[in-house]
């Protein structure tokens, strides 16, 4: 028998509510001989208010020892902007070298998209996760006058760009359409843009079966809305990826459905799975948060740990649930979690019966 040793960071706002449902679904779908051991970490706004700490070294060390991390959401209006984002969320992504921020978009039911007409949306964004403008390089020259100067330096290393790009080619190879689009802004950001473009072209030679394409990020936003079906795998830098994946979420069912994995493909450190959405303090405690993005993040977690069938079951359960939801009354966080868990568990039993 096997044990999954999972670290859980419920975090702020709706984080704890959606994580509870994600864990419910995870438990429902695991094979009987696999045990789930969870360790909850008290990190986020409350902790910061109590102790002034965001992520102490001992906890970072202890997080390192788990198989994976499930995170709800980080950030609260009562904490100055950036404190928790940098001191906790980005610290984890950087410390655990989550260089692939994987963000799939699939339109599971046509009615979920605000776009007109029936659409085929099934693409995945490989957002580089450890570099770009997120490194914190830069500063401000506070002159005490109205002439302050602030810079944010986008850091792009050949090593960092290449490993993200390679991962994207590998993912493109594993998908039927085998298409990879680089998104950047190499007509303006000529230094980083050249590096990305050159690395992208060089690695392409090793993947003759992958058809490649380049789009400037502004044009990519147009196509994400007018022709989302043209995308298969997208690779892009950390900030463009952040922005594009919110847009991708909006066109493929809303931010309530968008899942992500902060992945360390080399497996030097635990990967971390979280919904793309934030802590939504405005609806925290109302039971209205949609836990679906967290459930789909659990599917990514399962796939990362080698539970492909179980991952697919969660995704199927979500798709079935969404189809039904079109006709259902508005449900609570818990009701949605229960519905997905029940479907996922039901299909687990059907699969077991089929193989028995
Ligand atoms: C996300 C979030 C984070 C990001 C913030 C909270 C630091 O927007 O996961 O997309 O910018 O990466
Ligand atoms: Mn974001």
Instruction: Confirm or reject: Cβ of 85 under 6 Å from ligand 1.
Output: yes
What pLDDT is attached to residue 329? 80
Specify the pTM.
0.96
CB burial string 294-309: b at 16+ within 10 A, e below:
bbbbbbbbbbbbebee
Give 7 Cα–ligand 1 centroid separation in angstroms.
Answer: 20
**What beta strand segments (E) does 270-330 contain?**
271-275
> Percentage of the chain with pLDDT > 90?
89
Ligand nearest to the CA of 275: 1
What are the pLDDT digits (tens) for 33-58? 999 999 999 999 999 999 999 999 99
CA atoms of 50 and 60, how far apart (whole Å): 19
Q: Which of 99, 134, 167, 237 is catalytic?
A: 134
- Which of 250, 274, 278, when mutated, tests ligand 1's pocket best, judged by the most ligand atoms within 8 Å of its CB? 278
Q: Answer yes or no: is 256 a known binding residue.
A: no
Mean pLDDT, the chain, integer = 95
Helix/strand/coil for 319:
helix
Mean pLDDT of 183-200: 98
Which atom of ligand 1 lies closest to the CA of 89? Answer: 7
Q: Which of 236-240, 269-273, 346-350 has the lowest mean pLDDT?
A: 346-350
Which atom of ligand 1 lies closest to the CA of 260? Answer: 9
Contact residues for 80 (Cβ-Cβ < 8 A; gap 6+):
none
Phi-psi region of 36 (alpha: psi -120 to 50; beta: other; left: phi over 0): beta
Which atom of ligand 1 lies closest to the CA of 85? Answer: 7
What pLDDT is attached to residue 112? 83
> Percentage of the chain with pLDDT > 70?
98
Instruction: Confirm or reject: Cβ of 246 under 6 Å from ligand 1.
Output: no
Look up 338 and say whether it is catalytic.
Answer: no
What are the pLDDT digits (tens) for 112-149? 888 877 789 999 999 999 999 999 999 999 888 999 99
Q: Which of 67, 246, 316, 351 is catalytic?
A: 246
Max distance between CA atoms of the chain, in angstroms, equals 76
Q: Answer yes or no: is 127 a known binding residue.
A: yes
Question: Is the CATH code 3.40.718.10 the one for domain 1-103+257-356?
Answer: yes
Mean pLDDT of 229-247: 98
Ligand nearest to the CA of 74: 1
The number of CA neighbours under 13 Å toward the Cβ of 225 is 10
Which atom of ligand 1 lies closest to the CA of 75? Answer: 6
Instruction: Confirm or reject: Cβ of 276 under 6 Å from ligand 1.
Output: yes
Strand partners, 149: 141
Fold category of 114-122+130-251 in CATH? Isopropylmalate Dehydrogenase (3.40.718)
Which atom of ligand 1 lies closest to the CA of 90? Answer: 7
Look up 218 and say whether it is catalytic.
Answer: yes
Look up 185 and say whether it is catalytic.
Answer: yes
User: Where does CATH 3.40.718.10 sit in the chain?
Assistant: 1-103+257-356, 114-122+130-251
Mean pLDDT of 20-31: 98
**What beta strand segments (E) does the chain contain?**
2-11, 34-40, 68-73, 100-106, 122-128, 138-141, 149-152, 179-184, 211-216, 233-236, 259-263, 271-275
* Residue of minimum CA distance from atom 4 in ligand 1: 242
Give 276 Cα–ligand 2 centroid separation in angstroms.
Answer: 6
Give 267 Cα–ligand 1 centroid separation in angstroms.
Answer: 22
Instruction: Confirm or reject: Cβ of 89 under 6 Å from ligand 1.
Output: yes
Look up 122 and say whether it is catalytic.
Answer: no
* Residue of minimum CA distance from atom 11 in ligand 1: 242
pLDDT bracket for residue 355 (50, 70, 90): low
pLDDT bracket for residue 326 (50, 70, 90): confident
Q: Answer yes or no: is 5 a known binding residue.
A: no
What are the pLDDT digits (tens) for 106-118? 998 888 888 877 7
What are the pLDDT digits (tens) for 52-72? 999 999 999 999 999 999 999
């Amino acid at each position: 028998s096997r044990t999954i040793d999972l670290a859980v960071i419920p975090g702020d706002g709706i984080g704890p509510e959606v994580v509870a449902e994600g864990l419910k679904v995870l438990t429902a779908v695991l094979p009987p001989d696999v045990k789930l051991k969870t360790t909850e970490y008290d990190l986020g706004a409350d902790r910061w208010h109590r102790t002034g700490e965001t992520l102490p070294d001992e906890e970072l060390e202890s997080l390192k020892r788990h198989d994976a991390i499930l995170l709800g959401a980080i950030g609260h209006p009562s904490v100055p902007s950036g404190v928790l984002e940098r001191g906790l969320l980005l610290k984890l992504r950087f410390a655990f070298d989550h260089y692939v921020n994987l963000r799939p978009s699939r339109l599971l039911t046509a009615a979920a998209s605000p776009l007109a007409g029936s659409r085929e949306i099934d693409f995945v964004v490989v957002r580089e996760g450890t570099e770009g403008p997120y490194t914190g390089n830069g500063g401000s020259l506070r002159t005490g006058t109205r002439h302050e100067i602030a810079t944010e330096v986008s850091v792009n290393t050949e090593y960092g760009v290449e490993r993200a790009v390679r991962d994207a080619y590998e993912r493109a190879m594993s998908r039927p359409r085998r298409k990879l689009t680089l998104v950047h802004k190499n007509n303006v950001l000529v230094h980083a843009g050249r590096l990305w473009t050159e690395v992208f072209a060089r690695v392409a030679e090793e993947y003759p079966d992958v058809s490649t394409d380049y789009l400037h990020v502004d044009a990519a936003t147009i196509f994400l809305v007018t022709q989302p079906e043209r995308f298969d795998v997208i690779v892009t830098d950390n900030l463009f990826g952040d922005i594009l994946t919110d847009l991708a979420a909006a066109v493929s069912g809303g931010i309530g459905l968008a899942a992500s994995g902060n992945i360390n493909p080399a497996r030097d450190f635990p990967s971390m799975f979280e919904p793309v959405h934030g802590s939504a303090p405005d609806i925290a405690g109302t039971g209205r948060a949609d836990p679906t993005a967290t459930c789909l993040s659990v599917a990514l977690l399962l796939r990362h740990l080698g539970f492909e069938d179980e991952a697919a079951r969660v995704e199927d359960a979500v798709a079935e649930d969404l189809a039904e939801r079109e006709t259902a009354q508005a449900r609570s966080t818990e009701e949605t979690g229960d519905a997905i868990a029940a479907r996922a568990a039901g299909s687990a039993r059907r699969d077991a019966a089929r193989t028995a």
